Chains A and B, each alone.
Chain A
Amino acid sequence: MSKEKNIEEAARRLRTAWETGVPCDPVRDLIGETDVEAAYAVQNINTEHWLKAGRRLVGRKTGLTARAVQKQLGVDQPDYGMLFADMDVPEGEEISLARIMQPKVEAEIAFVIGDDLNDDQLTTADLLRSIEFAVAAIEIVGSRVAGWNIRIADTVADNASSGLFVLGHEPRRLGEFDPRMCGMVMEKRGEPVSVGSGAACLGSPISATLWLARVMAKVGRPLLEGDVVLSGALGPMAPAAPGDVFEARIEGLGSVRAAFAAD
């Protein structure tokens, strides 16, 4: 098969898993284990597919923002995925396990963009000016690949293993909290299951977001006014099981909860 055909086939495999809820094999047999460019081509095919199908693009996520996770996957940069409106879970709503495959949770800072960032030479200043507010967020990642058996190409092709997200309800402007030094704790039944700090996200969630904004402008899907950015995990991810309730608290930024249905 030609490379193009393989990319199409990989996109179809992941889409079928997403549609049926049945995890699939990795796609690295089709596109290679380390070909990130081909992997983004796969992701892009499905993004286009879903946009045509009527899903609304509402933001992006940055993944692989922890050095330890990058090392695990043998890469030296983060990755990105698309966020659609149907992935937004209102806080207080129980998350049906039918909506997410092999879920794990991560606590993050979500930024909401106030101005279009459609420039291929974005600076930190541009970004700081354009962030309208931030909220605490829990990202519920899921993999369409059975058993999370992923290499870098698999996760990038699979929309950066994105699943669902819950946004907190206490918007803060920059200057009202410290995105780099803020402490983070995520608890389940009163036990910390993940702790960390803003600095764990690529040095600072602002830096992770600038990386994302630059790449998005470059690939022609710039961050636009109103877009949500899940900037990357502040601590290790934790597995989620039926009935689990997680609360993430980010010092200065409030808290957010994700509750999974019991069955």
Chain B
Amino acid sequence: MTDIAKLAETVDEAAQSATAIAQLTFADPDLSGTAAYAIQRASIARRLGRGERLVGMKMGLTSRAKMAQVGVDEMVWGRLTDKMRIEDGGAISRAKFIHPRAEPEIAFLMGRRLEGAVSPAEAMAAVEAVAAAIEVIDSRYENFKFTFPDVVADNSSSSAFAVGPWASPYTDVGNLGMVMEIDGRAKQIGSSAAILGHPARSLAAAARLLAEEGMALEEGWIVLAGGATAAEPLSPGMHVRLVAQGLGQVAFSVGA
């Protein structure tokens, strides 16, 4: 019998102390996806108990390339709390992470609640604004290695995020050029089309996946639709900037 509370404590403490842990599936090879989402829920509940606030969710593994890179063949999602926010133009401390990587993303701001099976068009009708965003992923597992239940239990590797200025929800985010720079040099170049062919599909998938857990995308939530390119490892001293076609920029720096 999987001890949800105990495992939630394990991943929560790993995140809090920035200490890598062994994959949960090493000790429990039969860990199910359902149990993994329960662990995620319980570990984030611990954060909420410490005063953090739920502000949205993130989608992960939203491209075949990404799925192939980590060897997991399903989309995953995780929760975003206010403590994970990085101010646009602000800084993060490298020491608070284990092996952080930055990913260029598209963010949606929900103008109203969205629940269950919806089409991408219906999903977009609930969006109040769109923006360029950078997610910092930081798997709590050693060597950034995991299986599907591992990554889900670990809040889908999510650890921090920065969102740029909000733009009109009528902006077509289907195929925007995305250039992520480190210290002014382009390191990752791609298009928002890498996100399931169109980020709106990821938003619709988000509503569907949340419904499986009895949840909905709530009004005012931020949804990160998934990485548009491979992720870039972060080290102290780096300045990270994402420019997205027509959406402007979002940036932060990495301190010690």
Contacts and interface: CB of A to CB of B under 8 A. Distances in A.
A237 interface: no
A192 B191 CA distance: 10
Interface stretch (B29-37, B156-164, B171-179): B171-179
A178 B189 contact: no
A215 to B, nearest CB: 23
Contacts, number: 69
10 contacts: A183-B192, A185-B191, A185-B193, A185-B194, A185-B197, A191-B197, A195-B191, A196-B190, A200-B189, A251-B175
B189 A192 contact: no
Closest 3 pairs between A and B when the two form their complex, measured CB to CB: A185-B193, A197-B177, A183-B191
Given A191-B197, A199-B177, A184 B191 contact: yes
B243 interface: yes
Interface in B59-74: 63-64
B197 A183 contact: no
Contacts of A250: 175
Given A197-B190, A197-B191, A199-B179, A251 B197 contact: no
A194 to B, nearest CB: 9
Interface in A225-263: 235, 249-251
Contacts of A192: 63, 193-194, 197
Nearest to A190: B197
A249 B190 CA distance: 13
A187 B186 contact: no
Interface of B: 63-64, 175-179, 186, 189-194, 197, 228, 243, 245-246
Interface residues of A, number: 22
A196 B191 contact: yes
A184 B64 contact: no
A263 to B, nearest CB: 28
Contacts of A185: 175, 191, 193-194, 197
Contacts of B176: 183, 251
Nearest to A255: B175
Given A191-B197, A197-B178, A181 B245 contact: yes
Contacts of A197: 177-179, 189-191, 245
A251 B186 CA distance: 19
B197 A198 contact: no
A195 B179 CA distance: 12
Contacts of A249: 175, 193
The residue in A195, A203, A235, A251 that gathers the most chain B C-beta atoms within 10 A of its C-beta is A195
A97 to B, nearest CB: 26
Contacts of B243: 181
A248 to B, nearest CB: 10
Nearest to B172: A251
A182 interface: yes
Contact of A178 (B177, B178, B191, B197): B177
Contacts of B191: 183-185, 195-197, 235, 251
A184 B175 contact: yes
Contact of A184 (B177, B197, B246): B177
Interface string A41-80: 0000000000000000000000000000000000000000
B178 A203 contact: no
Given A203-B186, A251-B245, A181 B177 contact: yes
Contacts of A251: 175-177, 191, 245
A82 B20 CA distance: 54
Given A180-B177, A181-B243, A235-B190, 15 more contacts: A181-B179, A183-B176, A183-B178, A184-B193, A185-B175, A191-B64, A195-B190, A195-B194, A196-B189, A197-B178, A197-B179, A197-B189, A199-B189, A235-B191, A250-B175
Contacts of B177: 178, 180-184, 197-199, 251
B114 to A, nearest CB: 24
Contacts of B194: 185, 192, 195
A192 B63 CA distance: 9
Interface in A149-190: 178, 180-185, 187, 190
A251 to B, nearest CB: 5
Contacts of A200: 189-190
Nearest to B229: A195
Contacts of B197: 185, 187, 190-192
A190 B64 CA distance: 13
B135 to A, nearest CB: 18
A200 B192 CA distance: 14
Contact of B245 (A182, A187, A195): A182
B202 to A, nearest CB: 13
